[in-house]
Amino acid sequence: MAENTEPRIGVFLCHCGTNIAGSLSIDDVVNYAKTLPYVAVADQYQYMCSTPGQKKIDDAIKEHNLTGVVVAACSPRLHEPTFRTATREGGLNPFRFEMANIREQNSWVHMHGMWDEATDKAKDQVRMAVAKAAKLEDLIPKSVPVEHAAMVVGAGVGGMQAALDLASAGIKTYLIEATPTIGGRMSQLDKTFPTLDCSQCILTPKMVDVGRHPNIEMMTYTEVENVEGYIGNFDITLRKKARGVLTPTEATAKGIVGGGCNGCGDCTDVCPVIKPNPFEMGMAPRKAIYIYHAQVMPLIYTVDFDSCVKCGLCVEACGEKKAIDLEMQDEFITVKVGTAIIATGFDLIPIEGKKEWGYKRFDNVISSLEFERLICASGPTGGHLIRPSDGKTPQAVGYVLCAGSRDNTGGVAKPYCSRFCCMYSLKHAHQMYEKIPGCKVYLFYMDIRSFGKAYEEFYYRIQNEGAKFIRGRVANVLEDPETKNLHIFAEDTLLGRPVDIEVDMLVLAAAIEPKEGANVLRKKFGVSASQDGWMLEAHPKLNPCGTTTAGVFLAGVCQGPKDIPDTVAQAEGAASAASIPIHMGEVELEPYFAICMEDLCAGCGMCVNLCPYSALALIEKEGRTVMQVTEAKCKGCGTCGGFCPGGAIKMQHFTTPQIAAQIDAFFAGGVQ
Amino acid sequence: MADEWKPKILAIICNWCSYAGADLAGGARIQYPPDIRAIRVMCTGRIDMLFILKAFVEGADGVLVSGCHFGDCHYLEGNFKAAKRMFMIKNLLRNIGLDDKRFRMTFVSASEGAKWATVMENVISTVKELGPSPIKEFKK
């Protein structure tokens, strides 16, 4: 289209059912739009995003020879891509489209008795959008190749599933795990609800699959140090923490033939340092050279350099295998990937912060994960459920559900539902009856949320097994100093009376919070967080795996509390989404990059230092110093353009004349 | 009729945090007064000081710039660089005799819909208290 012709803008108002039309006068705004300069046609439709709505745009572009399109509807963050496509279908460059957000930022926030004000605001919004649309230019998105590799950060059940899916789709996948073994939280669990599958039995085969998949490069005891680049071309620097132990491959590379760790455990037998094992929630010992548990993947020992005294006994015990190197240092490696999935999981909140329940004050108050280890056949007690104070088998056990969840009192408490505590507490109750016939089980609950497939049926089953459900929050717990038994004080809200129940042991179904360090990690990937700290999905309903950083996806609890089936499902979704750009081979980036207008550039170089991506440089051109943009590096923030003292930087799609026209349109009351 | 005057307030807000926060307020139907019109930019770093001065010259009774929280910028540090410029705006306004409360920079994340509504209420009530911008006198 000729650049010099007078702009001809089409304006289309969407009713969005009654979402918009119920709060402001569409007719008034359409009639007003017709009076605006450059507007060739103004129209309305119930649902502009529907096929007939989009066809209106298509037809109008052709009929009225439009140079720009304005749709006044929902947020551009929702439907800008839709209408850009419609604009392109009509034969215009898709960037000749501008949206006026009269729903999220107008009709939905000015709903009651605000008809006139909302209508006036919509007129202003349309006027400003038309002003911008009149100055829009054709832009060509740049296509960049996508690296045929992906990264998954976090190797719990979600991360492992995502990695397996990506790898099985033929994509080289780096699986990064901060601890020495893959498996995550699920490997700490004994049984899983509602099927009572043994957690290890269903997880271990997956761990083995991950370990031997030719397309998966498993990197345990490794953390993400730095992320650079953009979709298709992320350069991710990893810190391979010093493990102190060589794998057979690493040993061979160093010329130690037949050497490297074979997992025999001779080293750990001789190690004199004893520390609590975090995998067993500190209830079992480990040495300074250790593995978490027998099923670790990879089966390679790790030296905890914080507690190692470097006595060298392990090196001696290892002998000819020469697997142990007590002088090992952290290594940094950079890998290139096209897309990445974050699957970092959760921690329990420090439930001792809820002082009334006595965790860490009373021996026999334990957290649900501690109970999980105590009842697990591979746990510290070999599956014999005993209570911490005296090693006796508890005959009466209380469970506090919503321990710190759905709690607005602040401190360590969380306002949200942690989603799986009801169900695992029911499972714990069942396991009590299984292990200790005739025992008493009391569950203190607010509501039982058994919403999943076969969950409600499981709830009935536990009720029939004899568990006592007491609807009420536990107000206080006191310990009998002699017996170490606990008195639970609560109000039974269904009977409307206070209760005092004596139990041998109390289990707190503690709320969960994002994994320690997840907040730092997400910022490296440019991922936002919701108010409660969980990572923010691109759209809560329509894009629950994506993030606002193109090419970065979320799987599992890092995005919000969810149980194992939901985690695995989201992981598969994230893997599918992450594989699309890789299989496409190239992606289009929005053409919002900076351009130097060399005539105006004085070569001062202020912008060069402002750019966070090192995309700008000063060059010599025709005897002058001017700035040059490396388009592939520019992400289009416009920080350079906002500062350039000479106005020499043009930020595409957000140019100074375009923004100035919007400001003029607001205050001057029309496009001049 | 004193309540006839409606302030004209311009907001320039970033796509990733504050614009998304404003959308979230909409999705949650959190109601707030309607006197602000927003321009979307990708990052507050894009905001030239001249945009704000232009708005005041054209007759803005108030201007709001809103971006991501520090450390949460989609472009690493654009909001930080913007904030430094915005301090200068405040200075400048004081020097030319405009109350610097007419200009504000806030930080509203994509998950802070309720905060966006509070910001709207605060900015509008502040500007309403200050009354029409004296610059309008020159334009008559």
Q: Judge residue B140's burial from the number of C-beta atoms within 10 Å of its C-beta, 0-12 exposed, 13-18 middle, 19 or more buried.
A: exposed
**Beta strand A191-192 with B9-14: parallel, antiparallel or unpaired?**
unpaired
Contact B43 A124 (CB under 8 A): no
Q: Dig out the tokens for A432 from the structure.
A: 């009590």
A109, A110, A541, A649, best to mutate vs chain B, most B CBs in 10 Å: A109
Q: Does B77 touch chain A (CB under 8 A)?
A: yes
CB contacts of B34 in chain A (<8 Å) are 106, 109-110, 114, 117-118, 120-121
The set of residues, in sequence order, having a beta carbon less than 8 Å from that of A308 and lying 6+ positions away, is: A244, A273, A288, A289, A326
pTM summary value: 0.89
Name every residue whose Cβ is closer than 8 Å to that of residue B115 and which is 6 or more positions away in sequence.
Answer: B21, B108, B109
Respond yes or no on whether ipTM tops 0.85: yes
Q: What is the pLDDT of residues B84-127, one digit of tens each?
A: 999 999 999 999 889 999 999 999 999 999 999 999 999 999 99
DSSP A505-516: EEEEEE-EEEPT
Listing DSSP states for A175-244 in one string gives EE-SSSSS-TGGGG-SEETTTTEEHHHHHHHHHHHHHH-TTEEEE-SEEEEEEEEETTEEEEEEEE---S
Residues A590, B42 contacting (CB under 8 angstroms):
no
For residue A536, the chain B residues in CB contact (below 8 A) are: 110-111
* Omega prior to A298 cis, within 30 of 0: yes
Chain A residues near residue B17 by CB distance under 8 angstroms: 528
pLDDT at B137: 78
Chain B residues 25-44 with a CB less than 8 Å from chain A: 25-27, 29-32, 34, 37-43
Tell me, rounded to whole angstroms, the distance of Cα A132 from its chain centroid.
35
Characterize the bridge pairing of strands A97-101 and A68-73: parallel
Q: Does A612 touch chain B (CB under 8 A)?
A: yes
pLDDT value, residue A43: 97
| Closest Cα in chain B, distance from residue A615 (Å) | 13
Report, as ranges of residue numbers, the positions in chain A whose pLDDT lies below 50.
1-2, 670-672
What does the pLDDT look like over A519-577, one tens digit per residue? Answer: 999 999 989 898 889 999 998 888 999 998 999 999 999 999 999 999 999 999 999 99
Q: Give me the total of CB pairs closer than 8 Å, taking one residue from chain A and one from chain B.
A: 151
Is residue A339 within 8 A of residue A581, CB to CB? The reply is yes
Q: Determine the pLDDT at residue A4.
A: 60
Strand, helix or coil at A354?
coil
User: What does the block give as tokens for A362?
Assistant: 């009373």
Q: Is A174 helix (H, G, I), strand (E, B) or coil?
A: strand
Rg (CA), chain A: 31
Any chain A CB within 8 A of the CB of B74? yes
- The span from the CA of A30 to the CA of A204, in Å, is 63
Chain B interface includes A539 (CB < 8 A):
no
B26 bridge partner residues: none
Residues 174-213 of A with CB under 8 A from B: none
Number of residues written out for chain A: 672
Q: Which three-class secondary structure string do you get for A246-279?
A: CCHHHHHHCCCCCCCCCCCCHHHHHCCCEEECHH
In this prediction, residues B39-63 reach a mean pLDDT of: 95
Q: What is the pLDDT of residue B39?
A: 97
Q: How confident is the model at residue B3 (pLDDT cuts 50, 70, 90)?
A: low
B contact test, residue of A23, A105, A521, A559 with most B CBs within 10 A: A105
Q: Which residues contact A599 (CB under 8 A, 6 or more apart)?
A: A648
Q: Helices H, strands E: what count in chain A?
A: 17, 34
Q: Is the pLDDT of residue B134 over 80?
A: yes
Say yes or no: B45 contacts chain A, CB-CB below 8 A: yes
* Per-residue pLDDT at B72: 87
User: What is the structure's pLDDT at B1?
Assistant: 42
Q: Which of residues 259-298 of A touch B (CB under 8 A)?
A: none
Written as six digits, the tokens of A420 are 């799986």
In degrees rounded to 5, what are phi and psi of residue A2? -70, 135
The Cβ of residue A639 has, within 10 Å, a number of other Cβ atoms equal to 32
Query: For residue B18, which residues of chain A lie inside 8 Å, CB to CB?
Result: none
How far apart are the two ends of chain B, measured CA to CA in Å?
Answer: 21
Q: Which chain B residue is nearest to residue A524, measuring alpha carbons? A: B76
CA dihedral A157, A160, A162, A163 (to 10 degrees): 180
Q: Nearest-CA distance from A120 to chain B in Å?
A: 9
- CB of B60 within 8 Å of a chain A CB? The answer is yes
Q: State whether residue A103 sits within 8 Å of chain B by CB.
A: yes
Set of chain A residues whose Cβ sits within 8 Å of the Cβ of B43:
637-639
Tell me, what DSSP letter sits at residue A619?
A: E
